[in-house]
Amino acid sequence: MCTAREGRWGRKQRALLCCMLVAAWEAAWGQLRYSVPEELPKGSFVGDVAKDLALQLAALRDRGARVVSADRTQYFALHANSGHLVTAERLDREQLCRLVERCVLHCELIVEGEMKVYEIEVEITDSNDNAPSFREAETELRISEMTAPGSRFPLAEARDPDVGVNTLQSYELSGDEHFSLSVQVGADGEKRPELVLAKALDREEAAFHELVLRAMDGGEPSRTGTARIRVSVLDANDNAPVFSQAVYAVRVPEDVPVGSTLLTLTATDVDEGINANVKYSVKKATHLASEIFYLDPETGSIRLLRSLDFEEGDSYDLQVMARDGGGLSDTAMVSISVTDVNDNAPEISVRSALNEISEDAPPGTVVALLHVQDRDSGANGEVRCSLAGDVPFRLRSSVGSYYSVVTARELDREEVSEYNVTVWASDGGSPSLRSSAVLALRVLDVNDNAPVFAEARYSARLPENNAEGALVLTVRAWDADWGQNARVRYRLAEGRVRGAPLSSYVSVQAETGALYALRSFDYEEVREVGLWVRAEDGGAPALSSNVSVRLLIVDENDNAPQVLYPPAAAAAAAGAGWTGVELAPRSAEPGALVAKVVAVDADAGQNAWLSYELAKATEPGLFRVGLHSGEVRTARSPLARDAPRHSLVVVVKDQGRPALSATATLTVVLAEGVAELLSELGSAAAPAEPAGSLTLWLVLAVAAVSCLFLAFLLLLLALRLRRWRRSQLLPPASGALRGVPASHFVGIDGVRAFLHSYSHEVSLTADSRKSQRRWAADSCCNTLPARPPPDKAAPLLGEDAAGARGAPPDALPGNVPSRRVRRDRRFPRKRQGSCARCEPYVQCRAEAAGAAVHHGGEERKERSAATSPARSARSLACCVGGREGCERPRGAELQRDGEVGGNVRRRGRSRGDIQIGRR
């Protein structure tokens, strides 16, 4: 006994172990099976998917798991927080599985992050939610009174959609003793009720009999359905209708039009009259068949009420009955088979798909998971999938009817940034049906392209003397990438120009690539600037490229010609051996070379082309200048009447726009030898002696007047300050000196202070022994002539210099060196007669306290002997208005601008200018 128990226990363990192994194998292969009863509410628990598949809840949430079904209605859903499979709709087994006993629903669990599919089967078990029901609640039977006891009459069967014990189990009859119930069980297990006549009928006793037929199922609790049967007792009818066939079979295609007649039933009755009138009816049919087919009771034709669908049902069985007017009937079976027609195109369902993919994704990357099915059968349901066009993707078969779309090669966003991948599915029908699905996929950019400049090299021409910050040119680079990777920034490469950093000459705008000049260029210093501009994108890591930029400085005419020979006045003064005079023999032939003007221009090109022309000459027509050579030649032979000394002004011009020019002055002496040349120069320098003292006295007079006016102002200011101070210290009544003018308090001390506080600078000519003062034409004292007398020729610079070098020091009067002085500051013109007192005393003699001697722009200071107090007082008295101590030169004439003069500049520390002739 113990052995038997141990054997049974071992068998149970082995069975349990086998079940566990089967469950583990199914879970490993991604297939789960669950069983739930029908009529569960929405959200009811079905199974723990996460536990059964050994999936982590966090992974399910992060990777986007979801449940999909091939049906149009989704009956299940996945609870992301718990990993449970729950119902998404109310489940009714009778609606879901009408024609099958075992109701199983299929769905798939898709984990999008892993691109994996797990199949799930859920069996819907039946519950006793339907009671048996009869097609007609009331049924009328007509039975002849001649019917023998024991006769059987088929009754309408009850229908119960439930299965198993919950379906129809038994019938009961109540109501009359003349009838009893007999239940026949067919080969298919169906129970068919029959009414059995237990006792002979007598129409005269009872014309009608009321019966109740009850159908019961086996559920807990049991459900029942009833039908009322009314039996009418008729006269005798001894022949029942007979069908021409016991079974009618017909095959129709599923695309047969609605309203078509599928077949016609035929039943005959040999009786006559009302007993031969046959009526057709459907005795037994499924609910779906009753909705699809219609049996005409008069003609027996079966017509189609709505379209057939092979996928919904491929065959239908009807039990039909023919009844005559006497109540006799016959039954037959009708079998309608539906043939499949390729009327369903393949269906493509995108279970999971990526919207974006990086262009550096490796080949074989899954971008979409597709499910393909065809509701047709046979060859019509065989599906072939393909991709349209030349795309870098391919299809790979997965589990069951699933396909994966994977990359076939590396992607390049710069070639194609977006893909619309079209997936075609075709069945094997004739003609073949096809359908498509489009996958939109955007390619994400990777920084794999460096910026590319629009040109291989850049060059620009920039005029010199440009404005600081001027735009030179703009470089442009494009990056084939996208977004931040395509954002290009520019910068200059390191470099130096003339020892200075390149960044101090030019700069580049980082965003636009505009190149700006930071300083004004000079063609004479920098003629060309070579640099490199780098374009760098915003990727990580950043990619860059360089381009060379050549900046050519264009010359402008900003330099005037510079005369090298003859040298300027300053160079002439500094040079020891140059006298400034060119010698031309009087016996020179026409075209003889006298001198050559040499000039250069710092510009380049056309701006440096020089031309020479004679602008001024003492004797026009005697000399000419070569246009391009600058050679001064004789235009004709000198004549005896030609002056011995000639001054030539040569203008040197460049070819720029506007043209710039410079002048050169040549002194040409017509002489046969050096002795004649020296004598000519000495005679020209002699008349200039008497003008030296006049200039000095004029300077002293101006200084004296200025000092007096400054002293007067200072004294007036001191009196004002003193009066104001007294008004602050003394009462207002003390005003004894209120009416005295301030000018009464000016004394000699103020005049002396005014004189000592004012200084003058005198510019004198070089190499001249004699100087003359020259008053401006608009001077207040109109005593000097505006122009030199026509009978006296203006001495030349060379003559003055020669006279200065040739005469001994004691030849000058008073042994006092004199200089020719030219005043720059001119005095405003006064009315006629306003300076009558100053005219007799304007020329005074005095020694200069100090003078600034200018030789060609360089200042040289010379100091003379200190003047005696007596002379200073005499000069002051002369310029203020007295006659004492002044000498009025007789017959002195002044020379004008033809002579080389100096500049007298007066600078004072007072705020006002003192003009002679105003006071």
Q: What is the DSSP string of 723-787?
A: HHHHHHHS-TT--TTTTS-GGGG--HHHHHHHHHTEEEEE-B-SS-S-------TT-SSTTS-SS
Q: What is the pLDDT of residues 166-193, one digit of tens each?
A: 888 889 998 888 899 999 888 777 888 9
Report how far residue 600's alpha carbon sits from residue 603's, in angstroms, rounded to the nearest whole number: 9
Contact yes or no for 800/833 (Cβ under 8 A): no
Two structure tokens written together for 897: 């601008």
Q: Of residues 913 and 480, which shows the higher confidence score? A: 480
Output the pLDDT for position 626.
92
Contact yes or no for 105/75 (Cβ under 8 A): yes
Output the pLDDT for position 898.
35
**b/e map of 518-542 (b: 16 or more CB within 10 Å)?**
eeebbbeeeeebebebbbbbbbeee
> What percentage of residues in the chain have a pLDDT greater than 90?
34
Q: Of residues 62 and 46, which shows the higher confidence score? A: 46
Mean per-residue pLDDT, 569-577 = 49
Least confident span in 516-520, 592-596, 603-607: 603-607
Two structure tokens written together for 604: 């380049």
The contacts of residue 180 (CB under 8 Å, 6+ apart) are 173, 195, 196, 198
Q: Of residues 345 and 881, which shows the higher confidence score? A: 345
What are the distances in angstroms from CA 413 to CA 408, 444, 536, 787? 15, 7, 20, 91
Output the pLDDT for position 743.
40
Least confident span in 369-378, 678-687, 700-709, 864-873: 864-873
Two structure tokens written together for 600: 């250069």
Two structure tokens written together for 452: 């590319």
Report how far residue 238's alpha carbon sits from residue 733's, in angstroms, rounded to the nearest whole number: 173
Q: Of residues 719 and 869, which shows the higher confidence score? A: 719
In this predicted structure, the answer to whether residue 262 has a pLDDT above a threshold of 90 is yes
What are the distances in angstroms from CA 552 to CA 130, 262, 461? 101, 99, 5
Mean per-residue pLDDT, 697-702 = 86
Two structure tokens written together for 143: 């039975």
Contact yes or no for 134/156 (Cβ under 8 A): yes
DSSP 805: H
Task: Tell how many helices (H) and how many strands (E) occur in the chain.
Answer: 11, 57
Output the pLDDT for position 730.
56
Mean per-residue pLDDT, 812-839 = 37
Residue 59's identity, in one-letter code, is A
Least confident span in 143-157, 275-289, 665-679: 665-679
Two structure tokens written together for 207: 């014309």
Phi, psi of 761 (to 5 degrees): -120, 135
Output the pLDDT for position 348.
92
Report how far residue 211's alpha carbon sits from residue 205's, in angstroms, rounded to the nearest whole number: 17
Output the pLDDT for position 837.
39
Q: What is the pLDDT of residues 398-418, one digit of tens each?
A: 888 899 999 999 999 889 999
DSSP 821: B
User: β-strand 610-617 against 645-654: which pairing, if any?
Assistant: antiparallel
Q: Of residues 889 and 313, which shows the higher confidence score? A: 313
Chain CA centroid to CA 23, Å = 60
Mean per-residue pLDDT, 896-902 = 34
- Number of residues that make up the chain: 919
Q: What is the pLDDT of residues 198-256, one digit of tens each?
A: 988 887 788 889 999 999 988 888 889 999 999 988 767 777 899 999 999 999 998 89
Residue 584's nearest CA partner among 522, 529, 646, 540 is 646
The mean predicted confidence, pLDDT, of the chain is 76
Phi-psi category of 903—alpha, beta or left, where left has phi over 0 and alpha has psi -120 to 50? beta
In this predicted structure, the answer to whether residue 441 has a pLDDT above a threshold of 50 is yes
Residue 90's identity, in one-letter code, is R
Two structure tokens written together for 913: 């200018």
Output the pLDDT for position 682.
65
Least confident span in 144-148, 482-486, 762-766, 853-857: 853-857
pTM given for the model: 0.48
Report how far residue 848's alpha carbon sits from residue 865's, in angstroms, rounded to the nearest whole number: 8
| DSSP-based three-state secondary structure for 60 | helix
In this predicted structure, the answer to whether residue 875 has a pLDDT above a threshold of 90 is no
Q: What is the pLDDT of residues 748-780, one digit of tens each?
A: 343 333 334 333 333 333 344 344 434 333 433
Two structure tokens written together for 750: 């103020």
The rounded radius of gyration (Å) of the Cα atoms in the chain is 68
Neighbouring C-beta atoms of residue 622, cutoff 10 Å: 21
Residue 329's nearest CA partner among 147, 452, 185, 476 is 147
Report how far residue 189's alpha carbon sits from residue 658's, in angstroms, rounded to the nearest whole number: 125
